Amino acid sequence: MFNLNIVSYTNQLKSSTILSLCRQVTCQSSYYRTCRFLSSEKKAETPTSKPPNETNNIIASELALIKRCKTPPEEKETPKLQTVRVYRWNPEKPNIKPYMQQFSVDLNKCGTMVLDVLTLIKAQHDPTLSYRRSCREGICGSCSMNINGVNTLACITKVKESPKPIVIYPLPHAYVIRDLVTDMEEFLKQYQSIEPFLKRPGEENFVGIRQVLQSQRDRDKINGLYECILCGCCTFACPPYWWLGDKYLGPATLLQAYRWIIDSRDMAHKERLSKLRDFYSVYRCHTIFNCTKTCPKGLNPGKAIAEIKRLLAGLAKKEQPDMETPLPNPCNGEEIYQCREE
Ligand code: SF4
Ligand code: SF4
């Protein structure tokens, strides 16, 4: 009401008059902002006539009303305290054994995910706390850790206020570098060993020059596989991997291996399968499905491993691709490209 009235009345007032009137009163900040806006608008104009008495009276009565208004006091939120227990170990202090450190965190002061709680702990309680994080939206797979007994991503795990503490450990059966940071080197080496890229033997000269065709049906075959973000939650939840992690490839690497084997554009599936045909690489999987249960992206590595076993046993065969990609034919006058120099 005041805002509307003052807009019409102030058309006839000087800017300095408006601002000084507004300063005289204790009013809500929005009114004050309106006044400032109107006075600044007014600065550009040259007053042409004196305000009539009637207008002055109305403004005076409005200002009297504002005088009475008071900014309501800000409501203080009651703190939502949550106990968080975090695994700590510092290699620079080898005499201190790993221990669990307890924090009391006000959930009003942070976001809704466990990663936000860790960020608050690092910012306000203990800056020495170490953990990996990057995208904070379940894409990069950096913040994988064991939260309340489940391997998952801290950035997509919601915090529920509870009388029980939130217990956070690094990924189980992984070497710890510091606090919640685990050594993923072996895990990534195993991933590297499956050669996670498209292989088309004999077509090296055309890499990056011709697009490789794929039908929609063939493309659908890699759904549920390509989404893997290599967080390692499944691999470090797999009991056979805990005991034979140096020989058994584990669910994440095998899911990726199956992704490349089944891709219609990849022509090296026989070579890929023969590399996996040994006692340890695949067959240590006992189909317990811990991996599938824990995957934060909802993928099914256990099923992918079962499919690899079927291919290895000859119970299934990779289908021929729906679409072939023709190579350039010099007999038709098509140019043959040389390998691109890096
Ligand atoms: S399959 Fe799931 S749990 Fe395993 S690495 Fe991929 S995204 Fe992570
Ligand atoms: S299904 Fe196989 S890969 Fe998955 S947790 Fe069980 S043993 Fe490990």
Cα distance between residue 264 and residue 212, in whole Å: 10
Cα distance between residue 153 and residue 137, in whole Å: 9
pLDDT (0 to 100) of residue 180: 98
Residue ranges, CATH 3.10.20.30, the chain: 81-182
The model carries a pTM of 0.76
Determine which residue's CA is closest to atom 7 belonging to ligand 1: 228
Residue ranges, CATH 1.10.1060.10, the chain: 185-313
Ligand with the closest atom to the CA of 151: 1
- pLDDT tens digits along 177-215: 999 999 999 999 999 999 999 999 988 877 777 789 999
| Mean of pLDDT values over 86-92 | 97
Cα distance between residue 104 and residue 151, in whole Å: 23
Q: Which of 286, 307, 308, 309 to mutate to test the pocket of ligand 2 (most atoms within 8 A of CB)?
A: 286
Closest CA to 145 of 109, 90, 108, 184: 184
**Lateral strand order in the sheet of 150-153:** 99-106, 81-88, 166-169, 144-147, 150-153
- Fold (topology level) of 185-313: Fumarate Reductase Iron-sulfur Protein; Chain B, domain 2 (1.10.1060)
- Average pLDDT of the chain to the nearest whole number: 85
pLDDT (0 to 100) of residue 224: 97
Atom of ligand 2 nearest to the CA of 284: 7
Higher pLDDT, 334 or 51: 334
On the question of pLDDT at 239 being above 90, the answer is yes
pLDDT (0 to 100) of residue 71: 65
- pLDDT tens digits along 24-83: 444 444 444 444 544 454 444 445 555 567 888 888 888 887 777 766 666 777 889 999
On the question of pLDDT at 18 being above 60, the answer is no
CATH 3.10.20.30 fits 81-182, yes or no: yes
Cα distance between residue 317 and residue 269, in whole Å: 10
Ligand with the closest atom to the CA of 233: 1
Atom of ligand 1 nearest to the CA of 229: 7
pLDDT (0 to 100) of residue 51: 58
Q: Beta strand 81-88 with 99-106: parallel, antiparallel or unpaired?
A: antiparallel
On the question of pLDDT at 165 being above 80, the answer is yes
